[in-house]
Amino acid sequence: MTGTGSKDYWNQVAESDPAWHIATKFRSLDSAFYESGEREVEYFLSIAGLSPGSGQSLLEIGCGAGRMTWALASRAGKVIASDVSPEMLKLAKEHLADRKNIEFLELTGDGKIPISDESVDFVFSYITMQHVPAVEAQERYLTESVRVLRPGGRGLIQFRRSGLAPRVLDWVGHFAHALGGRRTLRAEWRGARVSRRRLEELTRNCKVSSFISTGRRHTWLSFEK
């Protein structure tokens, strides 16, 4: 499956209502929206024990309008901010125009990451895999993340949790948003779900691979190459 549907969907919402579709408690790309990214970067990096340095590079998968990218770029020497939507990337570029250590990269949506083997020190992705509609694409994003990490590099990627309870909670949310006029029943919003066992299989050759739970619906996969 290609990422054409996802690209179209996220281009459309980038033009109509980007803030809500990136973080549902916000309605505009204002200072509060971007400040929330700073707080969340600090928290999520800390729970995984990650501390990018000025001499290191970081790949962000799913940068959206750059809500978290500024905070990542203030820590790492270089950030590759990637997204499936060129319209989202345009918003991110506008917000991050003053940052000179960010490279922007458009993804096809099929999970491929067009950068060289062993070229980054960190990979980070938050509330992105949960919207990828094909399991195969999510799996490829993970294997590609391992590929592009240098030996000793660290990855931190959030996925939907498996099991009945997380599925029910997700569907309750999808229907509630749909009743409010959102297109949240679309596959490009609902995404797919990769089993914990499969995530473990895909990172079995890493030095370290572990899960960090931060709620009933999602989990973080932390790994070291």
CATH number at residue 188: 3.40.50.150
Query: CA-CA distance, 196 to 200, in Å (whole number)?
Result: 6
Q: Which three-class secondary structure state does DSSP give residue 118?
A: coil
Q: Which residues pair with 135 in a beta bridge?
A: none
Q: Which residues contact 97 (CB under 8 A, 6 or more apart)?
A: none
Look at residue 134 in the predicted model and tell me its pLDDT: 96
Look at residue 1 in the predicted model and tell me its pLDDT: 41
Q: Which residues contact 119 (CB under 8 A, 6 or more apart)?
A: 57, 148, 150
What global pTM score does this model have? 0.96
Number of domains in the chain: 1
Query: CA-CA distance, 72 to 58, in Å (whole number)?
Result: 8
Across the chain, which has 225 residues, the per-10-residue mean pLDDT values are: 81 97 96 97 96 97 98 98 98 96 97 98 98 97 98 98 93 95 95 96 96 93 98
Q: What is the mean pLDDT of the chain?
A: 96
Alpha-carbon separation of residue 65 from 6, 29, 76, 133 (angstroms): 16, 8, 19, 20
Look at residue 215 in the predicted model and tell me its pLDDT: 87
Q: Which domain holds residue 203?
A: 4-224
Q: Of 62, 112, 108, which is closest to residue 89 (Cα–Cα)? A: 62
Look at residue 116 in the predicted model and tell me its pLDDT: 98
Which amino acid is present at 51?
A: S
Relative orientation angle of helices 4-16 and 86-95, to the nearest 10 degrees: 40
